Amino acid sequence: MAINTLMQRLIRRIERFRGIDAIARPASGSVSAATRPAPVKNLLSGSWLGHQLHPILTDLPIGAWGAATALDLTAGEEGAAAARRLVGMGLVASAPTALAGASDWAETSGKDRRVGLVHGLMNAGVSVLQTGSWIARRRGHRGLGVALSLVAVGIAGVSAYLGGHLSYVRGVGVNHTAFQGRAGEWTDVAAESEIAEGELRRVLVDDVPVLLTRRRGSLRAISAVCSHAGGPLDEGTLDEEGCVTCPWHGSRFRLSDGAVERGPASVPQPRWEARVESGRVLLRSA
């Protein structure tokens, strides 16, 4: 059977296996509670970086463990010390990688949460095997250490496929405003008198949903589709500091420029310029 068919079958089975929810639901609730404080969520989501943190960090353990395996297979005893150090470096890097991944996973649901849990458990198994490998190598049992690392790398490959499926097939963690159109021309969207102070209103510029509101007398507009996972910002809440909070996972964006004040979003909302002409509100992409 071709590898893609095999993997697609595996993924479909995981997605349909509702029994996983008995573990996934309470576990994601606990992670969600632990990562609720804004500094924690911002740190782990990559809101401070303008990019999701987890996919960046994954390069570190995968790179270290991949290099260790390359030495194991090609350098013999000469590469043993370096390979052991690389296994250790991968273990150190795997901790923050897992934390960032768990934080992202806590915001998923349904099929994505099931696949994400299996992905995380497989990675935990990889870390256990690599820990065993490092200990075996330290005690002079290089053959055992190499064998454990080879099994770990094989499992990590399957787990990486699941992670890739979540990102590239299911769109978990991608910027949900990436494919929105832009409007270079001013477009009439509403009568000025209809836009009340503090009211979050959804208007359309061509087919692009835009959140339009008035704050301290000035019109403000950012894209209405949350960059994190597509939540409707016009159904969120506007606070005293001029930020809107998404109703789905609590990302908070500044209305003045779309900047992320709180994750899990890591990408700012596209901003729109507003002006009034003959009593009508006109918008265009900023």
Of 107 and 234, CB closest to ligand FES: 107
CB neighbours of residue 169 within 10 Å: 11
Output the smallest distance, CB 112 to ligand FES, in A: 12
Of 76 and 230, CB closest to ligand FES: 230
Secondary structure letter of residue 198 according to DSSP: T
Can you read off the two tokens belonging to residue 73?
A: 């297979």
Closest CA to 164 of 6, 5, 7, 3: 7
Of 54 and 84, CB closest to ligand FES: 54
Output the smallest distance, CB 230 to ligand FES, in A: 6
Task: Write the burial class of residue 66 (CB in 10 Å: 0-12 exposed, 13-18 middle, 19+ buried).
Answer: middle
Output the smallest distance, CB 177 to ligand FES, in A: 11
Of 41 and 119, CB closest to ligand FES: 41
Of 84 and 252, CB closest to ligand FES: 252
C-alpha to C-alpha distance for 129 and 118, rounded to whole angstroms: 16
Output the smallest distance, CB 229 to ligand FES, in A: 4
The residues, any chain, with a CB within 8 Å of residue 269's CB and separated by 6 or more, are: 177, 222, 223, 226, 227, 233, 253, 258
Applying CB under 6 A, the residues found at the interface with ligand FES are 107, 226, 228-231, 246, 248-251, 264-265
Of 83 and 246, CB closest to ligand FES: 246
C-alpha to C-alpha distance for 193 and 218, rounded to whole angstroms: 13
Output the smallest distance, CB 226 to ligand FES, in A: 3
Output the smallest distance, CB 213 to ligand FES, in A: 17
Sheet holding 201-205, edge to edge: 187-191, 280-285, 271-277, 218-223, 208-215, 201-205
